[in-house]
Amino acid sequence: MTMRKLKRGRVTHTTRAYFGRAAASRGVTLIEILIVLAIVGLIAGGVAVVAVPKYAEAQKKQAQIDARTIHPAAEKYRVDHPGDQCPTVELLREKKELSQASKITDPWDTPYKILCGEEDVAVLSMGPDKKENTADDIRIPENAGAGDKK
């Protein structure tokens, strides 16, 4: 590339090649990297705002599904063994009332609790706080009383 070509204002192939190499060889600046990281952070934050509540809701629904699976097995065990104590989920699995593939812990990794009354059986997940008799407990059936505790 010569200076004469630049002075005339003509952009030639050699001029474009020269400036293209100069731009490519300078690399990426720190500001450009920070802008990209800020944009990625904003996108990740937006996804987290939407995903975290959906995940918590999915955990509660999964606990209800698991408890509804355990409840009939617990009722059947009480009918088949009228004089026995209230069963545990471990006992139901051991006696093959529940399959080995059945979940016996809730999504918060607490074992499901089976509560037996005189006439009814309830399955309880203690919920995200892992404390019994709080507002976030999941009980199947929902209207069942506390009954005799396990």
Give the model confidence (pLDDT) of 55-112 as tens digits. Answer: 999 999 999 999 999 999 999 999 888 888 899 999 999 988 888 888 889 999 999 9
Report field, pTM of the whole predicted structure over 0.85: no
Cα–Cα distance measured from residue 121 to residue 63, given in angstroms and rounded to the nearest whole number = 17
Half-sphere exposure of 18 (CA within 13 A, CB side): 10
Q: Where are the domains of the chain?
A: 56-150
- What's the CA angle centered on 116, arms 115 and 120, to 5 degrees? 115
**Among the CATH numbers 3.20.20.140, 3.30.700.10, 1.10.10.10, 3.30.70.330, which is that of 56-150?**
3.30.700.10
b vs e for 96-124, b when ≥16 Cβ sit within 10 Å of the residue's Cβ?
Answer: ebbeeeebeebbeebebbbbbeeeebbbb
Give the model confidence (pLDDT) of 106-139 as tens digits. Answer: 999 999 999 998 888 999 999 999 898 899 899 9
Q: Which residue has tokens 């009228």? A: 82
